[in-house]
């Protein structure tokens, strides 16, 4: 629903699911308490995923862990923007996908 509201085409939705799978595989190991909060927001042909809190320095490690056999690093390759925000509780990773074309 959120991706549809963001007016993302189906191929970008598929790519968003690949990103989420890759992130979910490793994120729990990089948090302070084994839990991660994920926020998904859509708007103006954009889908934004935010997750955290991650341990200090772990957001970069999470991005680097995004390699999948035969696909390479899907987090870096499929996202249009990556940002790491430092918070009092650690770090927050923000991944943005935009509709192309």
Give residue-wise pLDDT tens across range 77-97: 989 999 999 988 799 999 999
pLDDT per residue over 16-57, tens digit each?
Answer: 888 888 888 888 889 878 888 888 888 888 889 999 899 999
Q: What is the DSSP letter of 6?
A: T
Q: What is the CATH number of domain 2-98?
A: 3.30.565.10
pTM (2 d.p.): 0.83
Work out the pLDDT band at 1, boundaries 50, 70, 90: low
* Domain-wise residue ranges, the chain: 2-98
Distance CA 6, CA 42 (A): 5
Instruction: Report residue 39 as tokens.
Output: 């926020």
């Amino acid at each position: 629903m959120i991706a549809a509201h963001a007016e993302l085409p189906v191929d970008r939705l598929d790519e968003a699911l690949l990103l989420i799978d890759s992130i979910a595989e490793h994120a729990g190991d990089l948090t302070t308490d084994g839990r991660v909060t994920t926020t998904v927001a859509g708007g103006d042909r954009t889908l934004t995923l935010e997750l955290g809190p991650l341990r200090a320095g772990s957001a970069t490690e999470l991005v680097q862990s995004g390699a999948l056999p035969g696909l390479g690093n899907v987090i870096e390759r499929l996202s249009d923007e990556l940002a790491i925000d430092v918070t009092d509780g650690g770090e927050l990773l923000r991944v943005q996908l935009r509709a192309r074309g």
